Amino acid sequence: MPDADALAFAAPEPGATPLHVVSEDALEDWLAAQDEPVAGWARRVGFTGALGQAHLIPAGDGALAVAGYGTAAKRARGRFHLAQAAAGLPGGTYALATDLPAREAAEGALGWLLAGYRFDRYKAAPAPGARLVAPEGIDAARIEALARAEALTRDLINTPASDMGPTELAEAARALAEAHGAGCTVIEGAALEEGFPLIHAVGRASPRSPRLIDLRHGESGPRVTLVGKGVCFDTGGLNIKPGSSMGLMKKDMGGSATVLGLAQAMLETGLEVRLRVLIPAVENSVSGDAFRPQDVLRSRKGLTVEVNNTDAEGRLVLADALALACEEECDLLVSMATLTGAARVAVGPDIAPFYTDDDALAGALMAAAGEVADPVWRMPFHAPYEALIEPAIADLDNAPSGGFAGSITAALFLRRFAEGAPRYAHFDIYGWQPQPAPGRPKGGAGQGARALLEAIPAVLGG
């Protein structure tokens, strides 16, 4: 786990170094307001207010720090810009000396904490020594909870499959449950065959037996059920992936990692809901017992599924978990999965596409995404494509031929198993940061969780 101090704000102290956030267009005004030694030093070190610049400048008996804030147009092309100052300043305690709008201050503070994340399980990776005093006017406890939740998600995704199989994923869920007084049950191996045949079929080829993880917390408030895809490694099964496509498959449990991070944030921020988290945890392997192309499998719901590609396994395991979720009352049902490459082609790695038939939920998610710097985009449950997932010999096809609208057909497949939920949203996330960015190192990344945490009270009144 990352250094806990790096994910928390520093305590206020008289000796904290003031941090001035200076935009390019306000540079001359800022320089004019400083003592000449400070202004001269800033000019000599080449400070222009450009994004990414951070300097410590002698001032009187102490020092002040400056962080470039670019222009509004440049800031709009990214997020978490203060995270660059966290990485660029020397160790010490800093206090924001610039009045930023509340939303920008909260985003900057969160970015600063996220810049402190390091995945150090296998190699020492010291966090930056620069710590920030919580800016005035922000909800510091909430932002710290968001940072810890994101760190949990990143840790789970970054851990390779050798140390993050179905067993370890279940252990992570149990640890979360124990820390927050929640209940957690796990159904394992052959016990899944009768009630969860799709989960069992996908996971049976691996020596690491499949599991269905079921975490519950809360006795009052709206009922919220989160379902996360927990494919701890995906070879593609008998439709085996090429090596280049297998390279990132440790992240194929990113949906489960994200719902566990979201669950932790919900518990730590005191969101009053009756929370349930369902994770089908499997490894899609190759062996003599692997499920085959053109097998017809019967789901928990009773719908039959023709398997036309064993590499479209995520929707199979999610189907049984969604069917279970709908067997009891639920006000909001959410599935999160690293499900299709088609979603990446459509919106790239930075945006989490989501599907819902509920306009109020969609509007709340889009509004929340902007507030908490967690970009999402609504995609359509396009009914005319339903015919694409209906093969000749079974109720459903797990991998329609042709490749058109791959993310949409996957979402339509899942919606068949979410019938009965008054509100359902499916997120087709990437779960990975391909290139380092402020507050987001290369590696595992949560997507959509902050937007959901912000939107749920608006939609359900929790």
Catalytic residues: 241, 315
Decide: 278 and 216 in contact? Cβ < 8 Å: no
Concatenated DSSP letters for 241-277?
Answer: PPHHHHTTGGGGGHHHHHHHHHHHHHHHTT---EEEE
Q: How many Cα atoms sit within 13 Å of 299 on the Cβ side?
A: 28
Say what angle helices 102-114 and 140-158 make with each other, to 10 degrees.
40
**SS3 at position 294:** coil
**SS3 at position 144:** helix
DSSP 184: E
Decide: 303 and 263 in contact? Cβ < 8 Å: no
Per DSSP (E only), the strands in 138-295 are 183-188, 211-217, 223-228, 230-234, 274-284
Say what angle helices 254-268 and 140-158 make with each other, to 10 degrees.
160
The C-alpha angle 297, 300, 306, rounded to 5 degrees, equals: 20
The Cα 459–Cα 462 span in angstroms is 8
Token pair belonging to 41: 């030093």
Which is it for the CA torsion 205, 305, 424, 347, positive or negative? positive
Largest Cα separation within the chain, whole Å, is 81
Cross-strand pairs, 94: 17, 132
Between the CA of residue 438 and those of 31, 32, 111, 240, 457, what are the distances in Å?
Answer: 26, 29, 7, 36, 29
Please state whether 189 falls in left (phi above 0), alpha (psi between -120 and 50) or beta: left
Element (H, E) at 354: strand 352-356
Token pair belonging to 348: 């790239």
Q: Which of 345, 334, 320 is nearest to 430 (CA)?
A: 345
Residue with tokens 């949990």: 152
The C-alpha angle 401, 306, 415, rounded to 5 degrees, equals: 80
